[in-house]
Every structure is written in C-alpha cells, then in structure tokens.
Structure 1
C-alpha cells in the first residue's frame, strides 16, 4: 500500500512539474499592425530584454497588414494577441461578440488617422474628395473609418473612389498622381515623405480625423477571449512586459531602435528614430495620459466611439464598452506614467 501511495504521489508531482514548465513557457503568437517600424520597437525590446520571459511567456512577433487586419487575425485563432485598432474591435464585437478580441492596453491615445493630399493638388478640403480617388490598404483602420469622416464633414463617401493599395506604395501613388489623396497613419506617411526627399509640411495637406469631428482612440494590445479565459495571468504578464518596454523606449528611444535593428538589419535608423519620436509626442503623450497613465482610457470617450461606429452600419447588437476594453490587467497607474524626457 505504501508503495502504491508513493507511486501516486510521484505521478502527481511529475504532472504538476510538467504543468508548471508549460506555464513558464506559454507560447504566444503576436501580430503587429504593420511592417516593423520605430513605433513597434518596444515589442521587440520586451522580447530582447527578457521581459516576456520574466512573465513566463514565449512570444513570437509577426509583422502585419493593417490595424484592422490585426483584429481579424486574432479572431481567426491564428494569433493569440496583437497590436490592433479599437474601432475594429468595436465592429467585430457587434458582429461576433463571442469571437471578438478584447483590448487590454491602449497605446495610441491620440489617433493617427489622416487624409493626405498634395499642397497644390485638387483636394484642398475634405469636401473636395467627392469625385476623387483615395488610396489606402483595405486592412487599415484609417480606410475602415473613412465613412465616419465623411458623415462628420458633410460629404458623400459613396462619391469617392477608394483604391486598395499595397502598404509600401501608398505615398508613391499620391506623388505620381495615381490618387488624389491617401488615407494613412500620420506618422507612417510623414516619415515616408521625408525618406522620398519631400517636405511633409510644405508639400502636403494633412486632414487628421481628430481635427475633423472624430475624437477616437486607436491602437493597443488586443488579446483573444480564449487567452483571457484559459490564461488570465498570461494576459496580465503580457501587458506588464509591454508596458515595461514602452517606458524604457520613451525614456531612451535609441534603446528601442537598437532592438528593432537586430530584427530588421536594413532599418533606416535615422528615419525610424524620427518616426518613433513623432509617435511618442503625438499618440502617446496626451492630456489624458498625463492624468490616467498610458494603457488606460476614458470609458465615456470609448462609449462615444461605439455610438459613432454604430451609426456607420447596422449593428445586430451594440456592444458595451466593458466588452471592448478590460482595464483589469493593467499595471498600477504609477507604473504607466510616461517618463519625463528632456
């Protein structure tokens, strides 16, 4: 009998050890919203510095095809988590509430959505877009939210020809006259114009959605409902690791760029450093984050975004804000306050 008891205890011990080993190396597939650029450097830094490993996570980071596409990727089950647009999460939750991912950490408190046209072109105001062509990747949130921009600014989106374009050809299409305007993340096009030898401020018009009636949030860390249900501690650890890396990069952007270069050796370091700083200054550092810290959001502002999205298309069910964003996985506010830089 003693021998049997010892055998059972040994088996239970081995089973527990194996389970713990798996928990300490939980694989997480993470999708970016775009090709690897400066504003993605904190994800790579979290991996390089072992922040994910410290939380018992083995994170694989893949490049993306748009901030809305990142939501679709997580919904499909191909990815456990990603960097996606909260407005795409809202639309997904309205159509498939049991499958839509949940945002657990907001990064872009200030939305980067913009319509861009040439300074001497035919589009000098948003109403000029009627009868014109606008190029954008269909997987981008800027493209998906274009009808809302039209509604808020009194022009007919159905009278605008929307062109699906490859992510690396958007700015070239505008400059070559293949499109009258483009719908893009501001920091993406701004730096791409610089790389093309153009002056973003002198050569182009910038119509930011946030300046034209759409006070929206944008990208953040999204996770699958399955990951939340099966491994809530992994979600908390993922958020903690990313937050830790973001604080490092804001304090020392060069550290982030160095991590990015190790993954993408052909990175234009000067350009991506500028893109990273532009993003920090415009998307991360806002009046709101100065009050509540990065990662969190104002639920009333989110509810307004839900109402705006619901006005664009028929929702079977209008999701609650609590189904879109879950703040329970956030680190303490003191850990999410952006460091002061000179």
Structure 2
C-alpha cells in the first residue's frame, strides 16, 4: 500500500542530491492555459526544473479531475488537478491513483453564481430555484451535500444538466437562476461575456457553508514516488520556488504564461493569476502551514464529504491521498504575498 511505500522512502530522501540525471517528466495541466498555471510554467521557463535534474514537458489538460485519470493511465507522471478526484478514485483503485504532494489551492473554488436580483445569498435561498450544472463536476455532485448540511429541501431545487460552456450564457439569459461552477473559471467567463461578476452577481461559496474542501494541487504517480523520489522532491522544490516568486512579482508569472501560450489573453490571465492567489491560495491555514501542506483533520473531513457526495464504496485514508514527505522546510514555504 502507498503508506508503506512512502514510509520506506524516508531514508532515501535524507541522502541529499537531485533527481536521477536528466529525468524526463510528463506533466499535465488541469485545463487549457490559464494564469493559475503560472507556478508550473515559471518553473519551466526559468529553468527551476532543470536545476533539479528534471526535463519537464508540460501539456494542456482536459479538466482538473481528468488530471487524475491521465496519470493513472501511465501517460503522465505528474500534473495539476483536484484532490477530490484522487479521493474518488482511491476508493476503488488505491494502487493506481496518484498522490498529492503539493496542495496549492487551500480554499475550494466550488460556488453557485447567480444574478443579484435573484437574491440567492445563502443555501436556504436555493429552494424554488433552477440551477444549471455540468454533470459529474464536484460543484454539481456536492450540491446535495451542501443542501443536507444546511437543511435545504433539495426536492424543491431543480438542477438541469448542461455543458460547462452553456452555464454562463444561460445564466445571463435568465434560463437558470444559478450556475454550479468553479469561481476561478466562471468569474472570467462572465467577463468574457461582457458582464461584471463583482457588481452584478452573487457568489455562494461552498467553503462558507460547511464544505471546506481542498482543491487543486500538484500530484504525482505512485510509480514516480517509488522509482525516483528525488524527482518528486525536485518537482516540489521547483514549483514552490516559482509560486513564492510570483507572489511578489506578477509580471514574472504572466510572462511565463504568455511564453508558454502566446494565444492566451494576457490581461485576462493576469487577473486570473491574481484571483488564484487572493481567493484560493492565501488563507489563514497557508499562513500557518505554509504553501503545499494540509491540515490532516480537515482533509479527513473532506474525505467524509466526498465519500457521501459520490456514494463511494469505501473511505480512503488521509495518507493515501496526500503526503508531506517531499515538502521543503516550513521556512521555505512561507508565503509573503505582495502581488501587485
């Protein structure tokens, strides 16, 4: 089991040195190029991976949950994706699922966005409303858990399945009262549709109403953990260095994004990068634990929530989902957030 595997690596991790020379790593992003990918892209652009003896190839993704299945397929060694998808897959395929080694998003992006005139400001306001959600996404799957925790009669809430590309257009047209979204995606989709997400929309965050889940971070395959733990340690060290650098230098971050994909909208993705720090990364927990770490008790509660929401046949253990064994010392992970 993964716990035993990780335990056996303790001695090897203390021996010093970098990854095996010229180690090739295939890395998948969570989606198409976005400003929130900047820590990984900066680590590549500035040679931080190379300094660790790593030759990292970064590909665009197909969804933060798909990162998990891409790694499980053996095509990718590592990626940026959703820890909740690890939990889901660990319940049935514990020997194949990747492990989270650097938890970047401390706060969940899961939210219900609605026009202010609809007056959805708390879970109780969902009764009698029609919501639109993409089938299988965490926000859509967990809305019933949100309702149960907050004593909402979910039989009075209509949920229409739709493609994620239809959610904001249908919300704008008034075909639905609210959309079940990732805030970091929907906020900027609304801007692209000439809307003002701050002025004209309410955002009901799941994290504010009992579903205090973790979200995206860097995960790696069990195969890489077993065969080259120094590569994992180097990946984490490089990404941590880049994430800290971006916190004080937004230009470095967006320059790396544009160098990777010159078709990205620079102004929009710069704003998205800042949004990721201000709304998903920076938190009291990050101040205490530093970048990349989790609170074990909170993660255990998250596993309970995901197990209920997805009706999992078993509950994985915390140590199957996350390991801090590859994290740099706390002093090196303290975030001095001064992004301009």
Distance 1:202 1:64 in 2: 31
- 2:162 matched residue in structure 1: 164
Bigger fraction of residues in helix: 1
Distance 2:115 2:44 in 1: 40
- 2:16 matched residue in structure 1: none
Q: Give the C-alpha shift of residue 260 in structure 1.
A: 0.7
Change (3 A) 1:340 1:84: closer
CA-based RMSD of the aligned residues comes to 2.2
Distance 1:149 1:67 in 2: 21
SS of equivalent to 1:90: helix
Q: C-alpha offsets along residues 251-303 of structure 1, whole Å, 9 cap, x if unaligned?
A: 10111101111122132222222221121112111111111101011101111
SS of equivalent to 1:201: coil
Q: C-alpha offsets along residues 8-31 of structure 1, whole Å, 9 cap, x if unaligned?
A: xxxxxxxxxxxxxx9322221211
Change (3 A) 1:142 1:30: farther
299-308 or 134-143: which moved more? 134-143
Change (3 A) 1:177 1:27: farther
Distance 1:59 1:139 in 2: 30
Q: Taking structure 2 as the reference length, what is the TM-score of the superposition? A: 0.86
How do 1:177-188 residues align onto structure 2 when only pairs under 5 Å count? 177-188=174-185
- 1:281 matched residue in structure 2: 278
Q: What stretches of structure 2 of length at least 5 have no aligned partner?
A: 1-18
Q: C-alpha offsets along residues 132-191 of structure 1, whole Å, 9 cap, x if unaligned?
A: 55334446433343332232233455753342314x443223213343322222122223
Q: Say whether 1:151 aligns with 2:148.
A: yes
Q: Which of 77, 86, 100 is 1:80 aligned to?
A: 77
Matched residue count = 320
- 1:256 matched residue in structure 2: 253
Distance 1:54 1:136 in 2: 43
- 1:51 matched residue in structure 2: 48
- 2:20 matched residue in structure 1: 23
SS of equivalent to 1:28: strand
Q: What stretches of structure 1 of length at least 5 have no aligned partner?
A: 1-21
How do 1:234-273 residues align onto structure 2 when only pairs under 5 Å count? 234-273=231-270
Q: Say whether 1:301 aligns with 2:295.
A: no
Distance 1:124 1:339 in 2: 32
Distance 2:326 2:216 in 1: 17
Distance 1:204 1:314 in 2: 32
Change (3 A) 1:102 1:162: farther
Distance 1:220 1:281 in 2: 16
